[in-house]
Amino acid sequence: MPRKLFITFSYFAFIFFLFLEVYNAPGFQYLNSYVNDARSNVNKPIYIDVKTLPRFDITKEVTSVNRSKSFNVTTLPRSNIAREVATVNRSATYSNVTALPRFNITKIVSVNRSKYFNVTALQRFNITKETHQLFYYHKHVEYVQKEAVVFTTRVISECEAGRLASLVATSKRDVWLLHDHDSFLIPKEDLIVRRSEEFIKQIPGLNYEQQIKKHTSFDSEISSTKSAFLRWYKNHSEYTSAWLVEDDVFYTGAWYKFFNDMMKYPADVIAVYYDNNEKQWWKDKSCTIKGELCREISPKHTYWMTIRISRNAALDLLSHIEDGTIKGHHEAITAAFMNKFNYSMKFPDRNFVGVKFVPAHWGPWMNKYNQTLERMKPEANKLYHPVKCVADDGLGEKAIYYSYKRL
C-alpha cells in the first residue's frame, strides 16, 4: 500500500514539474503576452486613417484644378462662364442688359424726362382709347342726367383706372371719383400721387375731387368714405340721387344694365346687400337715434358696398350725424334712420348679385386668394365683392372686357 501511494505521488510530481517547464518556455511566454496585449487594447479608442479611404485623392484633385491664385472655374464643364459673360458683357463696366429680351430698359428710361415717372410708358393697355371705344360701343343707350355714380378710393393705379374707365363709359351717368391724395404726406409717396393724377387725366369724362374727410362713428374703422360721400352732396345740387360704388366692387357687364334696372324702384334708398340680423350684433349696442337703440327701430343691417341714396335723405342723414343726434356704425344706422324719419327704402331681389357678394375685412376674405374674380366663378351681369386690385392687377383689363358684353 505505501508503494502505490509513492508511485501516485511521483506521477503527479512529474506532471507538475513538466507544466512548469512548458510554462516557462519562450513560445508560451510570447503567446501569453499577445493575449494580455489584446485584452489591454480592447477599451482603447480606434482612430481611422482617412487616407486609407480610396474614393479620391483630395490633394491631387485640388492641385489639378487650382493652377492659379484663385479657383479656375473653367475646369467645371457645366457651362463656359467666360464665354457666357463675354457674350453679354460688351462693355468694360457692366453687363449689357439688352441681351435680356424681357423689356427694353433704355426705352423706358428715355420717357422719364420729368421729375416723376411717366406711367404711359409702363401701361398694359391704352386707357383713353379703350374708354372712347366703349363710349361708342354703347352709344345707343340713353344718358341719365339727374343721377350720378360716386366711386371712392384712396389712389388710382392702372388696375383701378381700367375699372373706372369701364364705369365711366358704360354707366350712362356722370361718374365722380372721390380720391384721397391728401392723405399721402410722406415725401417718398409723392410718386404714387403723381401716377394717380396721370391715370385720372387719361379717363375722358371722369369728374373727380378730393374727399372731404371728417371721421365719425358712422364710418368704418379704416376709412371715412361713407360720410365723405354724404358731404359730396352739399356741393352737387344738380343730382337728385347718386350711387356709391366702392373700389372693390366688380360688375361683369356694362354698368347701365344694373343701374337702369334699379330705376324701377322709386325709393330714397336702394340697398343691394343687407341682412335681417336676428341676433344682436356687437355694434348694435352703440347705435342710437335720439337716444333710442337702432335695433329697436329696425334690425336690418345695410351694407354700403353699392347703394343708392337720394339727395334729400343723404343731407338729412349727414345733418343728424354732425349734430350728434345719431351715433353708431353706418350698417346699423341706415335702415333705422330711414324708418324713423319716413324715407322710403327698397331691398331688391338679388338676381343681379353674384354668388359671392359679401362684406370684406373679416375672416377668409382677408386672404388675397379669396379676393380674385376667378375665385368667385363669375357669371355675366353680376355684382361681386370683394374683388381687389391688390389681389389681381389685371382686373382693369377684365372690367373693359366685360363692358363689351351687351347681353
Which pLDDT does position 32 carry in this prediction?
56
Establish if 173 belongs to a structural domain. yes
The rounded Cα 119 to chain-centroid distance in angstroms is: 22
Which pLDDT does position 259 carry in this prediction?
95
Task: Please give the grid coordinates belonging to residue 378.
Answer: 363669375
What's the CA gap between 161 and 208, in Å, rounded?
Answer: 13
CATH number at residue 153: 3.90.550
- Residue whose entry in the numeric block shows the C-alpha cell 344706422: 333
Establish if 386 belongs to a structural domain. yes
Length of the chain: 407
pLDDT in tens, the chain (407 residues): 566 777 777 777 777 666 656 555 554 454 455 445 545 554 454 444 545 545 556 566 555 545 444 444 444 444 455 554 444 444 444 334 344 444 444 443 333 334 445 666 668 889 999 999 999 999 999 999 999 999 999 999 999 999 999 999 999 999 999 999 998 877 667 888 999 999 999 999 999 999 998 878 888 767 789 999 999 999 999 999 999 999 999 999 999 999 999 999 989 999 988 877 666 666 677 899 999 999 899 988 898 999 999 999 999 999 999 999 999 999 899 999 999 999 999 988 877 776 555 555 554 556 677 788 888 888 889 999 889 998 999 999 999 999 986 54
Strands of the 269-276 sheet, one edge to the other? 206-210, 174-179, 147-152, 241-246, 300-310, 269-276, 345-346
Task: Please give the grid coordinates belonging to residue 400.
Answer: 373693359
Identify whether the C-beta of residue 105 lies closer than 8 Å to the C-beta of residue 97. Answer: yes
Establish if 11 belongs to a structural domain. no
Task: Please give the grid coordinates belonging to residue 72.
Answer: 479656375
Q: Is 136 exposed, middle or buried (0-12, 13-18, 19+ CB in 10 A)?
A: exposed
Residue (of 201, 164, 225, 159) closest to 392 by Cα position: 159
Establish if 70 belongs to a structural domain. no
Establish if 202 belongs to a structural domain. yes
Q: Where are the beta strands (DSSP E) in 321-386?
A: 326-327, 345-346, 353-357, 383-385
User: How many Cβ atoms from other residues are within 10 Å of residue 55's Cβ?
Assistant: 6
Helices then strands, counting H and E runs in the chain, come out as: 14, 13
| 154: containing domain | 127-403
Which pLDDT does position 123 carry in this prediction?
81
What's the CA gap between 359 and 266, in Å, rounded?
Answer: 26
Establish if 346 belongs to a structural domain. yes
Establish if 36 belongs to a structural domain. no
Which pLDDT does position 323 carry in this prediction?
93
Establish if 340 belongs to a structural domain. yes
Number of structural domains found in the chain:
1
